[in-house]
Amino acid sequence: MALEDRIKVLEDEIAILKGQIHTTLLEIHEQILNHYYPELRADDSGLPEASGSARPARALGFVGLQRVTLEEPGPTAAEQDRAEAQVAAAEATPRPGSENRTSWPMVAQLMKWASDSVERIGAERTAKALEICAQGGCLTPEVRDMLLRFIALSDEGAAPATVGLRAIADALSELNDILGSAAEPSGADPAGGEV
């Protein structure tokens, strides 16, 4: 009985989400139409809501033929300059994490390090050591998050009951070696510092 109630609640939540998604898509569609066809935008300023006593539409006189093409007019010189400036600004602005982009071999080394560290000192101690290093500025948030995800993926056996600081320091030293080997030619460490 409880499962049926739970299923009903979930179905209701899905229906609500579908409605919200539909509404959002309609709003996006309206925004796109307003952007590309501003002449179709309704002028709501000063007009009352439509009601039963709406004024009848009056017919406009014949103005003449107007040729319409489906091609959009080419951009003006000012619009081209503005677009080029935006592209240049976007190219000049580094993407988040692009300077810290981790290569696949680096990911494999970090995954192996996480697995070995969990095996030697345990998942909880490894995660705590990473947090301490990140708070001290030795690891970038991206590297820390990646390592924490790898630790969460590992199948941890029984962690050693006692682990000395030396074992933790050795694990962090190995991590520093891995991150140091990925240093760029300029000497910048992608992890943001030393462990």
pLDDT over 60 (residue 183): no
Are residues 117 and 150 in contact, defined by beta-carbon separation less than 8 angstroms? Answer: no
- Within a domain: residue 156? yes
Lowest mean pLDDT across 28-32, 47-51, 118-122, 139-143: 47-51
Indicate the burial class of 175 (C-beta count within 10 angstroms; 0-12, 13-18, 19 or more): buried
Q: Which residue has the tokens 């995800």?
A: 149
- Within a domain: residue 168? yes
51 vs 149, more confident: 149
- Within a domain: residue 140? yes
pLDDT over 90 (residue 179): no
Predicted pLDDT of residue 65: 55
> Total domain count for the chain?
2
- Within a domain: residue 186? no
For residue 137, the enclosing domain spans 104-181
- Within a domain: residue 153? yes
Nearest to 184, CA basis, from 91, 111, 101:
101
Question: Among the residues of the chain, which ranges form H helices?
Answer: 2-36, 77-92, 104-121, 123-135, 141-153, 165-181
- Within a domain: residue 94? no
The average confidence (pLDDT) of the chain is 75
Q: How far apart are CA 164 and CA 27, in angstroms?
A: 59
- Within a domain: residue 126? yes
pLDDT tens, residue by residue, 124-176: 899 999 999 889 888 888 999 999 998 888 877 677 788 889 989 999 999 98
54 vs 24, more confident: 24
pLDDT tens, residue by residue, 76-111: 666 666 666 665 555 554 444 444 456 888 889 999
pTM above 0.85, yes or no: no
- Within a domain: residue 7? yes
46 vs 151, more confident: 151
